[in-house]
Amino acid sequence: MAPLTYSRMSHLLRSSINRLSVIRTGDESKPGPACCVQFARCQRSGDSQALQERQRQQMAKGLPRQKPIAGVKQVVVVASGKGGVGKSTTAVNLALGLLANDPLKSVGLLDADVYGPSIPKLMNLKGNPELSDDNLMIPLVNYGVPCMSMGFLVDDVAPIVWRGLMVMSAIERLLRHVDWGSLDYLVVDMPPGTGDVQLSISQNVPVAGAVIVSTPQDIALLDARRGAEMFRKVHVPVLGLVQNMSVFQCPKCDHRTHIFGSDGARRLADTLGVQLLGGGVQEGGGGGRPAARGSQHLMDVNMETRGHVTREQQTLLIHKQKRTTR
């Protein structure tokens, strides 16, 4: 098995983009006249409801069909509207928490933040992924969790200077060209914001639910709400909010100070009609030993978060099964 390097990955991405451009050029030239004729007929009929239905059908045709990731049963994304709120730390602890909650389950972790990958540092992993006989990347494993990240393909300080198409092709390879084996849960650490990556993953992969991470400040909560509304627009259930960095506890006197406020995420959760899953998981991640492997207090917080996520996923599975049997 040969290791996959950054230069080889770049070559593969450029080749796939060229093929994708040819395919798109062929597809986009066909449906235009038919759409115009249908639209004109709807206008002449004067039936606004029929017009709206036709528009909805045309929009649905333009959306990509969701395709499950091979071997993965449930996908949970961890997202935030703003960077630097502890989203990656939360994703790592959620993955480890799901595994600790039920050791019989298998959990994987995908770093979808191409420009700023954090999973290698948080999971204390280094090295290039090797390729299997099927030309699939083999995830690196620590704490029993297989991980894949763009950070495995570049140096720690090397910038990834790619345009949008290269990034989207990289995301596709990180999703589809990885030998995940058989996973009960794949936790995806999303990049901050509501851009192409979030939209692409939400529309191309059946996502069981999204966990939104925020700090208590008003600015961070504003972006967190945008993130939650984006997932609702693409029909991804919001499992709940995690409030991070909400309190500082003095190591000498144990006095607790809410530096950034205390109940911002709770109020936002009430406004959105979702649960506040927990908070305070920022401690201990940067050294490569996540909180879910250490502090008992943080383990208790993660246990609460895991319980809510698991119950929400079970409910979603029941609803999906009912829809498929109708």
Give the pLDDT of residue 256. 84
From first to last of the 326 residues of the chain, give the pLDDT tens digit. Answer: 667 666 776 666 666 666 655 444 444 444 555 555 554 555 555 567 777 777 666 655 556 678 999 999 999 999 998 888 889 999 999 999 899 888 899 999 999 999 989 999 999 999 999 999 999 999 999 999 999 999 998 888 888 888 888 888 899 999 999 999 999 999 999 999 888 899 889 989 999 999 999 988 888 889 999 999 999 998 999 999 998 887 788 888 888 888 777 778 888 888 889 888 876 555 555 556 676 665 444 444 444 444 544 555 445 444 444 443 34
Give the pLDDT of residue 250. 84
Give the pLDDT of residue 230. 92
Burial, 32: exposed, middle or buried (Cβ in 10 Å; 0-12, 13-18, 19+)?
exposed
Give the pLDDT of residue 2. 64
Identity of the amino acid at 75: V
Going by DSSP bridges, is the β-strand pair 248-249/256-257 parallel, antiparallel, or unpaired? antiparallel
Residues forming beta bridges with residue 186, ordered by sequence position: 75, 108
pTM to 2 decimal places: 0.72
CA–CA distance from 63 to each of 57, 58, 183, 205, 234 (Å)?
10, 9, 27, 12, 11
Give the pLDDT of residue 264. 81
Give the pLDDT of residue 285. 54
Stretch (H or E) spanning 107: strand 107-111
Q: Label each residue of 9-69 as H, E or C.
A: HHHHHHHHHHHHHHHHHHHHCCCHHHHHHHHHHHHHHCCHHHHHHHHHHHHHHHCCCCCCC
CB contact at 8 A, 147 and 189: no
Give the pLDDT of residue 318. 42
